[in-house]
A and B are shown apart, each in its own frame.
Chain A
């Protein structure tokens, strides 16, 4: 199959996979700038695992809520608890996140072992996110989350960036930094929960980290960093899906490989420019 035919096939047969991965990529990349700047990259990894745990919980026989609702609820509750736990000084932040990360993975495995509903392999596929079989319902939910998150971030861009840069001074000016932080993390939790259901944990975590770093290598103005990260997040899934079809690769790893190459190119360009 030629490239043109593959593109036509993807658009015709898997439109939700294509558009879903584009909006997830763009949104995760945009939010990822904050995650990288706040130096809470590990929190991104923890939240993806918690959302996967939330999905796993919905497979327990006595749980009747939908997968998405379960994942959302568990992730939002976790992020609210985390925002309190991480400000404590008794246990280092990294150690706390490491504990939750390990706990979330272990709990998911234990839950799956006791799940009679369907085969574990099928559940694992769902938990990892199967891009090609995104349902219209999930896609439109993600689209709604995308629009809402971008509106909130567009309206409060200066507040979010100020608090990420210097929360202490913002607090002295009367900004309720605790509430702004909670709003940011709840939005991140919702995005991560829904996105993980659609594209899987590796895709989500990869896009929270890689495009922002690539954007920081390519441009200097702060607004441009957000814009370039957003564009890398939006464009690389298309190329990844194309390569996945052409060479018969699984979609998520192919997309991550493409965005990783984008980062390496950005790095190389930056290094050569400063030589």
Chain B
């Protein structure tokens, strides 16, 4: 397995405030990597370090060059006061490749349409982004990330604020992008169920409780109960992992 991102004794924080001390882990090509943890634990900080927008206070982050990230931000961080069309939003994913002083060419428009088709929203191309539902917006933002032709797709809380069916549909889409396109995926979520049934490897992000490993070795009752300081039960229903608050009763 080819290592793409490697954290070696990395301490992350802002100024004098340390958020995550002495982190070590590696993300390999083809990984489906989940990052979970309570709100404010440092998930976004870790994400920023991976994306290179936050420099570590100490240690080393090795990124295999050239590595292109496709980033899907939290939907609510986007202020859509201007009525951009879906096509215009996805075209933004091409801006780096288009370069300064240049305008989008036919090839860029083709990539945009291909990305929209890939996430099943080609029919929305002329609609205003601001008028879409949460699930549709998320698909458009994923299309924008894909338009940059990334090697790694990074999603920050992709199912936040979504109804049940939209949430499942987005998680299935991300799963398909990983399985069929062999994209390396890093997904941040504070919903344990989101990651429990999709990702292969996981990081529990908490200041004094940072752990990385295979899903089953990390997402167990002992670990989660310590992390959330409450009894947690991990069980299976119809072959799917279900995580519940409270003590296990019987089988």
- A residues near B (Cβ < 8 Å) are 33, 36-39, 155-156, 158-159, 161-162, 164-166, 168-175, 216, 220-222, 225
Contacts and interface: CB of A to CB of B under 8 A. Distances in A.
B51 A166 contact: no
A30 to B, nearest CB: 14
B95 interface: yes
B71 A169 contact: yes
Interface residues of B, number: 29
B96 A165 contact: no
Contacts of B98: 158
Contact of B96 (A38, A156, A175): A175
A162 B73 contact: no
A218 to B, nearest CB: 12
B81 A162 contact: no
B177 interface: no
A174 B84 contact: no
Contact of B71 (A37, A39, A172, A222): A172
A168 B73 contact: yes
A156 B81 contact: no
B53 interface: yes
Contacts of A170: 92, 95
Given A37-B82, A162-B92, A169-B92, 20 more contacts: A156-B100, A158-B95, A158-B98, A162-B95, A165-B80, A165-B82, A165-B92, A166-B73, A166-B77, A166-B78, A172-B51, A172-B52, A172-B53, A172-B69, A172-B154, A173-B96, A175-B95, A221-B83, A222-B82, A222-B88
A204 B10 CA distance: 49
Contacts of A155: 101
A168 B81 contact: no
Interface string B79-116: 11111110011001101101011010000000000000
Nearest to A89: B14
14 contacts: A37-B81, A158-B92, A159-B100, A165-B82, A165-B89, A165-B92, A166-B73, A168-B73, A169-B71, A171-B51, A171-B53, A172-B154, A173-B95, A221-B83
Contacts of B85: 221
B139 to A, nearest CB: 16
Contacts of B88: 222
A67 to B, nearest CB: 36
B96 A36 contact: no
Interface in B53-83: 53, 69, 71, 73, 77-83
A225 B79 contact: no
A165 B90 CA distance: 12
A166 B144 CA distance: 12
A49 to B, nearest CB: 25
B95 A159 contact: yes
B83 A222 contact: yes
Given A155-B101, A166-B73, A169-B73, A225 B82 contact: yes
Nearest to B104: A158
Nearest to B92: A162
Contacts of A220: 83, 128
Nearest to B81: A37
A226 to B, nearest CB: 9
B189 interface: no
Nearest to A167: B77
Nearest to A34: B82
A172 B156 CA distance: 13
Contacts of B53: 171-172
A166 to B, nearest CB: 5
B148 interface: yes
B207 to A, nearest CB: 20
Of listed A38, A166, A220, residue having the most chain B CB within 10 A? A166
A257 to B, nearest CB: 26
Contacts of B154: 172
B125 to A, nearest CB: 14
Contacts of A156: 100
Given A158-B95, A175-B96, A168 B77 contact: yes
A173 B89 CA distance: 14
A199 B101 CA distance: 33
Contacts of A158: 92, 95, 98, 103
A222 B81 contact: no
B100 to A, nearest CB: 7
